[in-house]
Amino acid sequence: MPVTVRFVGSGDSFGSGGRFQTCILVDGPRCRFAIDLGTSSLIALAQQGIAHNSIDAILLTHLHGDHCAASRSCCWTRCSLRDRPLTVAGPRNLERRMGNIREALFPGSHVMTPKFAVDWIELEPGRLHEVLDLRVTAQSARHTEETNPTALRVEVGDRVIGYTGDTEWTDDVAKVARGADLLIAEGYFYDKPIKWHLNYPVIAAHRGDFGAKRVILTHMSKEMLAQTGNVPEECASDGLVVTL
């Protein structure tokens, strides 16, 4: 059965090119899930006519706001906006850290209790986890240490999606790509090297290591957006839909 991937948001943390922050929506045989849900993701979902109540699970790569902050709204909205259980899976200390993010953004919101079940799953790197009908493996990434960074490999039906998240290139990150039907890779800058991120020369140098059937670049800066016509890889845009 086909799997559909929608880049609800494909931007970096600064909204380069007027793009929304990271939100990758996947429709599989039995569930709809999001990979990352950045601060602007609820706006992006609404603009594209997608109810966040329709999302069964959220998989988070790391705990920077442009990748996780809207998850806070999905978990604590009142039942007028959400009335279905939600699963949130991500890096270590997930529930506590998301609670801290909620309280920092909406002080006093700790008194609110969601009127639906929220299931928190910590994804231990290197171990296969069952998340609803998904098989999810996180791998350690090299990004800001305080965010507990990971890259994700998700088996959905008979398809495999890999996502680097924000990271430098490592052998562990390469593991999420090997044999994947789709690798979604950060392509932050075209030339400029940035600590804890992937730029295009690194992607080009490791293209042979990907082992993925299809590669789409995302999380692009203004510099990288200006070069999308000059690279052989596909480049994401807000609202892009692909079928695997």
Q: Which residue matches tokens 């609820």?
A: 42
CA proximity to 210, closest of 188, 194, 228, 233: 233
**Strand (E) or helix (H) holding 70:** helix 65-76
Bridge partners of residue 218, in order along the sequence: 186
Burial class (CB in 10 A: 0-12, 13-18, 19+), 52: buried
Q: Which residue matches tokens 């899976």?
A: 89
- Beta strands 32-37; 159-163: pairing state: unpaired
pLDDT score, position 190? 96
The CATH number for 116's domain is 3.60.15.10
pLDDT score, position 106? 67
pLDDT score, position 120? 94
Look up the domain containing 108 and give its range: 4-243
**Strand (E) or helix (H) holding 150:** strand 150-156
Domain count, the chain: 1
Other Cβ atoms closer than 10 A to 36: 28
Q: Mean pLDDT per 10-residue run, the chain (244 residues)? A: 96 96 97 96 94 93 90 58 85 85 70 78 97 98 96 98 97 94 97 94 89 96 96 97 98
Asked whether the whole model's pTM tops 0.85, one would answer yes
62 alpha-carbon distance from chain centroid? 9
